[in-house]
């Protein structure tokens, strides 16, 4: 049950990263059309993360992985938007950083699983 809660926290951090970049793009970018849904998603994701932080203790190592998931969400949204609207620029750097960060997160999660089973 504890690992399921950890996955939920990591998923919420990823969604919050996607939503914050989507909100900034929707509000300040003339290329991306405006939508209210990233703002709603950002508010709900941050609220849920705040509730988890208040009601549960975070295990050792989870805040770093959650921060990496947040940054991964920001980079993934940036790569997708740049692929959809090439006038903004190349998506090479966000895509490469996303893949590297994804492998780092996977390695950290695997290392935590081996520590828990021992």
Q: By mean pLDDT, which of 5-9, 75-79, 98-102 is the weakest?
A: 5-9
Q: What confidence tens digit (pLDDT) does each residue in 38-74 have?
A: 999 999 999 999 999 898 888 888 899 999 999 999 9
Least confident stretch, 6-10, 38-42, 76-80:
6-10
0.85 exceeded by pTM: yes
CB-CB neighbours of 58 under 10 Å: 14
Q: Could you tell me which residues come within 8 angstroms of residue 16 by beta carbon, excluding any fewer than 6 positions away?
A: 42, 45, 46, 49, 70, 73
Q: For the residues 7-13, what does the mean pLDDT come to?
A: 93
Domain-by-domain residue ranges, the chain? 2-117
Q: Which of 95, 8, 80, 99 is nearest to 48 (CA)?
A: 8
| pLDDT at residue number 4 | 63
Q: What is the pLDDT of residue 93?
A: 95
């Amino acid at each position: 049950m504890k690992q399921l809660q950890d996955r939920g926290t990591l998923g919420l951090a990823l969604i919050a990263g996607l939503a914050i970049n989507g909100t900034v793009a929707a509000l300040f970018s003339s290329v991306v059309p405006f939508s209210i849904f990233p703002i709603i998603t950002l508010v709900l994701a941050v609220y849920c993360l705040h509730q988890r932080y208040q009601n549960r203790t975070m295990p050792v190592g989870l805040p770093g992985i959650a921060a990496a998931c947040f940054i991964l969400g920001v980079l993934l949204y940036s790569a997708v938007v740049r692929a959809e609207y090439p006038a903004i620029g190349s998506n090479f750097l966000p895509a490469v950083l996303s893949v590297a960060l994804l492998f780092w997160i996977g390695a950290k999660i695997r290392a935590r699983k081996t520590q828990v089973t021992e």
